[in-house]
Structure 1
C-alpha cells in the first residue's frame, strides 16, 4: 500500500486506537556495548531493519513495517521493542483495512489477510509483550486495542481496568474505557434482556437461518458463506469446512426455537434479510465490468467475494442485476447501464459462480452507493419516443425495421460463410436472439450487437432515444464490417 493516503485513526466500529501514535526507536549499541547474545555485525543489521520498519510505520506503510519487524524478530525473538512495534503495525493495518471503502478496491485491489486476522496477530504479540513485561502499561494498551478491533469489548474492559490499577492516570486507557462504556451502553439500550447464546458471532445479531457447522458452531447462513468467500475455515475454531450453499441445510430445530422464543426480533431479522434480496423496482445491484446492450447474451465467471455475495442474494430474489462500466471521462460509474437477467447459474466447488446472462432493458443511474462491498443504484428506465399506432410515422418506422431485419438476415448468412469457428458461433447465437421487426426498439439494439463495438459507442447507443437513428447506426456498422471483410 505504498503511497496510500493516511487514514483517520477512527475504526469502522467508531473507536480511536489509543497510545500507538508512534513506535519505539531501537537503542544504538556503541562498540563493546552490544548484547552478548549476538555479534556486533548482526546487532547492527538488526538495528537497521528496525529503523526501516519505524520509517515505514511513520509514513503509514504498515504492511512494509510488519515485514521489517518480522525479519527483525527472526534475528532476535521475544524482543520487547520489536514485538511492541509489530503489534502497533498490525493494529494500524487492521484498522486501515476495516475503514477502506469498496470503491478503493475497484481502483487498487489489495491482497493479503483480512482485518480480523491482523487484529488476532496483534493480540498474540500484545500477550507476548505482557508475558515478558507484565508491569508495563504499554502491554495493556496494546492488548486492549487488539480486543477492541476484534469487538471483544467485555474482555477489553477487564484489560483496561487491570492497566489502570498500575497507572490510574493513563490517558490512552482512560479514553478507551470511555469509548467502550458508551458503545456497550448503546448496544444494551432498547434491547430485550436475553443472553447472547442465540447470537451469531459474526454479525452479533440474532441468528437468522442458522447453520451449524460440523465442528459444532452456529452462524447465520448468509454470514457464514460471506465469511467462506474469503477462507473455508470456521471463523471461531479455524476448522476446514467442506460445505456449500447448495448442500448445507438450515438447522431446522434451532431456527424454530429462535423464531418462537424471540418472535419480534426474528421478524426484524427477516425484514432486514428480505430488504437485501428484494431491493425494489427502481433499485439494482450493479456488476461493474463492461457495457452491455439489450438483446445480448454473455457468460460471466464470478470470483470476487463481494460479487459472490451479490449473486447469492440475486438468486434468492428476482435474478436481475445491472451491468455498468467505469466512464473514463469521469472516473466514476457511467450514467447509463443495462438490466440483465441470470438465466443459468452454476455454483462451482471453489465458491465461484459461472453465469449465463441475457440483457433486458436499459436505464439511467440516478445515484449509487456501496452495500456490503458491492454497488447498488437507484435507476430510471429509458424508452425510445415511439410514434402512436396507426400514424404515418409508425408505419414508416415499421417499414424501416422490416427492411433492416431482411438486410441483417442476409448479412448474417454471408458473414457465417466466411467467419472463423468462434466468430461463426457468436453469429449463430446472436441470430437466435433476433427480435421481431414489430418491436423496432429492441431490433435496433440487436442490429448493433452483431458487430464488435467499443464501450464508448455502446454508451452512446444506450443514450439514444430515436429508434430510426439507432437502426441507421446498426446498419452502418454492419456495412463497415462487410466492407472490411471484402478488403481482406
Structure 2
C-alpha cells in the first residue's frame, strides 16, 4: 500500500505471516492488480519534519480507550486502506502517506472529514470483511504534498460492498456495535480479573525465559478500569500476536465472549511457556550435575 507506518512501540506493524483459508470470514474484492501488488507497509522511525505547511490537530485526551457507540445498523461510505495488521478501537497509528492516490484521498478527507477505514490484508492480498474506522487527530502536510498522520481507532465496521477502486478504494460499510452483556457486572469483573491473572503469568514466565512481552503490562493495568469492552480491545491489540486470532477477536460483537477467548488464549500461552521453562530448568540441572 502507499502508507508508511510510524507505529508507537506497543503497536508494531509487521507483514503478516498468515494467510486466510477459503473458510475464513474474509473475501478478496476485485481490485486492480496494481493495488494488490503494491499493498505493502514498511516500518520506519518517526522523524520530526520542519518543512510542513499545514497542520491540524484534534484533542487526543480521552480517545485512547473510549469505545464509541453509534446507532444500530448505521450504513455509510468511507475510503478503505488495507493494512498488514489488525487495528482495534483505541489503537494509535502514525502513518506516512506518499503515493499519489492516497494524496488525493487526503485532500478529500480534509474537506469531508478526517476518518477512513483500516482493514487487515495478508500477504496474499485477501482482505478481511471487518475492520476499524480510524480518526485523524493530527495531520501534517509537507511542501512536497506528503502527509504525516496520527490516527486513533474508533468504531468497528463490516464491509457491505466495494463502491469503487480508483483512485483509491471506497466501500459501503455497516458500523458494528458491542452487544449488551447478559452477564451480571460482578461476573464480568471476575472474567476481567481472570484474563489479567493469565496475563501476569505470561509476563512472569516471559521474564524468566528472557522473552520480551509485546505490551507493557505495568503501564497499561489501569486502562482496564475504563470499561470491559475497552479492556478486551486493549488485551487483543497489545498481547495477542497471531493475526488470525486478532481478526477473530475484532469480529466478535460480544465483550464477554471476547474476554473469555482472550483468557483461553493467554492460558494456553502460559502453559506453553511453563513447559519451556521446565525443560530449560531440567537441562540446567543436568548441566550442573555433570560439572
The TM-score bracket by the shorter chain reads 0.5 to 0.7
2:106 counterpart of 1:311: yes
2:154 counterpart of 1:360: yes
* Cross-structure match for 1:285: 79
Aligned residues: 216
2:130 counterpart of 1:336: yes
Aligned pairs for 1:129-140 within 5 A: none
Shift of 1:349: 4.7
2:6 counterpart of 1:104: no
Distance 2:143 2:208 in 1: 40
Q: Pick closer, same or farther for the CA change 1:437–1:419 going to 2, 3 Å.
A: farther
Distance 1:460 1:316 in 2: 34
CA contact (8 A) 1:303 1:352 kept: yes
Distance 1:393 1:293 in 2: 25
**Deviation per residue, 1:230-256 (Å, 9 max, x gap):** xxxxxxxxxxxxx98639xxxxxxxxx
CA contact (8 A) 2:139 2:150 kept: yes
Shift of 1:370: 2.2
Of 182, 192, 216, the match for 1:401: 192
Q: Pick closer, same or farther for the CA change 1:464–1:245 going to 2, 3 Å.
A: same
* Cross-structure match for 1:462: 250
2:138 counterpart of 1:347: no
**Deviation per residue, 1:378-409 (Å, 9 max, x gap):** 11122232236xxx64432233124434654x
Q: Pick closer, same or farther for the CA change 1:429–1:365 going to 2, 3 Å.
A: farther
CA contact (8 A) 2:162 2:170 kept: yes
Aligned pairs for 1:51-450 within 5 A: 103-108=32-37, 246=54, 282-290=76-84, 291-326=86-121, 333-370=127-164, 372-387=166-181, 393-405=184-196, 408=199, 410=200, 414=204, 427-428=215-216, 431-432=219-220, 435-437=223-225, 439-450=227-238
CA contact (8 A) 2:237 2:246 kept: no
CA contact (8 A) 1:295 1:433 kept: no
Shift of 1:373: 1.0
* Cross-structure match for 2:43: none
Shift of 1:482: 4.3
Distance 1:326 1:304 in 2: 18
**Deviation per residue, 1:454-484 (Å, 9 max, x gap):** 3322221222223222112223333444455
Distance 1:361 1:471 in 2: 18
Residue 465 of structure 1 aligns to a residue whose secondary structure is coil
Distance 1:318 1:431 in 2: 33
Q: Pick closer, same or farther for the CA change 1:296–1:479 going to 2, 3 Å.
A: farther
Distance 1:296 1:314 in 2: 20
Question: So what's the TM-score if we normalise by structure 1?
Answer: 0.37
Q: Pick closer, same or farther for the CA change 1:429–1:318 going to 2, 3 Å.
A: farther
Q: Pick closer, same or farther for the CA change 1:307–1:452 going to 2, 3 Å.
A: farther
* Cross-structure match for 2:24: none
Unmatched tracts of structure 2, length 5 or more:
1-29, 39-50, 56-73, 278-291
CA contact (8 A) 1:367 1:379 kept: yes
Structure index of larger Rg: 1
Shift of 1:443: 1.6
Shift of 1:359: 1.4
Task: Answer 1 or 2: which has greater helix percent.
Answer: 1
Question: So what's the TM-score if we normalise by structure 2?
Answer: 0.59
Q: Pick closer, same or farther for the CA change 1:375–1:296 going to 2, 3 Å.
A: same
CA contact (8 A) 2:105 2:168 kept: yes
Distance 1:411 1:343 in 2: 36
Distance 2:196 2:217 in 1: 16
Q: Pick closer, same or farther for the CA change 1:411–1:342 going to 2, 3 Å.
A: farther
Distance 2:140 2:207 in 1: 33
Residue 308 of structure 1 aligns to a residue whose secondary structure is helix
Shift of 1:336: 0.9
Distance 1:468 1:413 in 2: 23
CA RMSD in angstroms, aligned pairs only: 3.9
